[in-house]
Amino acid sequence: MTVLTIATLTLREASRRRVLRSLAVLTVLLLALSAWGFSRIDAEFGGLTSGEAKVAGSTVLNLVMFGYSLIAALGTAFLAGPSLAGEVESGIALAMMTRPIRRWSVLLGKWLGLVAFGSGFVTVAGVSQFLIVHLTVGYWPPHPVTGLLLLAGQTAALLTLGLLFATAISPMASGIVAVGLFGATWIAGVVGSVGEALGNPSVAQIGVVSRMLLPTDGLWRGAMNAFQDPALLAQIGTGVEESPFLSMAPLTPAYLTWAAIWTLLVLGLAALGFHRRDL
């Protein structure tokens, strides 16, 4: 009950922060721009065939969904820091701990609340984008639920990392470091994809290692594969490995298991750090 109560309070707190307003504005802008862009694709080319619609819808949808994943990453990373480190600095955490509440239950409640917030954002924004693409070019992703679950997992992994940093550094610094690592991992994944396309194992290994150290890019690539049409790679041809918005294959069960273990390990380290934090 304590964990659920703190999760509910964390959701309420997140809904009152200015970060939520910024997320809402960015999301509405991206939805409006994507709706205009997809409508112009259909208008400029005088109507698309079903095959052309799949190619255009798959490619541009992955590009737009990356924008939502970036918005979710920014929002949750900068919510995780103030939610924990901000309460420590303001003295709220010390007032809470005078009651018979365990620190791990506070951390777990905040984590659940932030996961619910990030998953809700990904679901609402993703479904809205799917409807826009379907209404404009007639395309619907083959595995939308799987893709949204993977994006929610990406958000959960990043906010867990943000909570870990929030147990040691300031709220703003924890968000900046988490988002910086998110961007660095994505760039490393692109570099690794280029290495695979060029047949360079050493460069390709950069992407593999980065996706193991921080699974956000790996989960994103799995989501891309769920959103794109299965026949897209065959229609485009060779050289698609270099594209940062196309995925060659779905994620393996082993990698999904590793991503879950990684998130739990980082959450455990965050609980340990919060337990040792001087309030």
* pLDDT tens sequence across 226-254: 888 777 666 665 555 556 677 777 889 99
Rounded to whole angstroms, the Cα distance separating 172 from 152 reads 23
Q: How confident is the model at residue 219 (pLDDT cuts 50, 70, 90)?
A: very high
Q: How much is the pLDDT for 233?
A: 63
* Higher per-residue pLDDT: 277 or 156: 156
Contacting residues for 208 by C-beta, under 8 A, at least 6 apart: 192
Answer whether 240's CB lies under 8 Å from 233's CB.
yes
Mean pLDDT of 218-225: 89
DSSP string, the chain: -HHHHHHHHHHHHHHHSHHHHHHHHHHHHHHHHHHHHHHHHHHHTTS--HHHHHHHHHHHHHHHHHHHHHHHHHHHHHHHHIIIIIHHHHTHHHHHHTSS--HHHHHHHHHHHHHHHHHHHHHHHHHHHHHHHHHHH----S-HHHHHHHHHHHHHHHHHHHHHHHTTS-HHHHHHHHHHHHHHHHHHHHHHHHHHHHT-HHHHHHHHHHHHHSTHHHHHHHHHHHHS-TTHHHHH-TTGGG-TT--SSPPPHHHHHHHHHHHHHHHHHHHHHHHH---
Q: What 3 state SS string does 11-72 have? A: HHHHHHCHHHHHHHHHHHHHHHHHHHHHHHHHHHCCCCCHHHHHHHHHHHHHHHHHHHHHHH
Give the pair of three-digit tokens for residue 203. 């460069």
Q: How much is the pLDDT for 276?
A: 75
* pLDDT tens sequence across 29-66: 988 888 888 777 766 655 555 566 667 777 788 888 88
Q: How much is the pLDDT for 108?
A: 86
Q: How much is the pLDDT for 195?
A: 79
Q: Does position 258 have pLDDT exceeding 90, yes or no? A: yes
In percent, the amount of the chain with pLDDT more than 70 equals 82
Q: How much is the pLDDT for 177?
A: 87
Its domain, for residue 59, covers 2-276
Contacting residues for 253 by C-beta, under 8 A, at least 6 apart: none
* Higher per-residue pLDDT: 219 or 1: 219
Give the pair of three-digit tokens for residue 168. 């040691």
Mean pLDDT of 108-137: 88
Q: How much is the pLDDT for 260?
A: 94
Give the pair of three-digit tokens for residue 95. 């007032």
Q: How much is the pLDDT for 146?
A: 93
**pTM for the predicted model, two decimal places:** 0.84
Q: For residue 221, how many other CB atoms are within 10 A of its CB? A: 27
* Higher per-residue pLDDT: 276 or 140: 140
Q: Does position 125 have pLDDT exceeding 70, yes or no? A: yes
The count of domains in the chain is: 1
Q: How confident is the model at residue 255 (pLDDT cuts 50, 70, 90)?
A: very high
Average pLDDT, the chain: 80
Q: How much is the pLDDT for 207?
A: 83
* pLDDT tens sequence across 129-165: 999 888 887 788 889 999 999 999 999 999 899 888 8
Q: How much is the pLDDT for 39?
A: 78
Rounded to whole angstroms, the Cα distance separating 136 from 43 reads 10
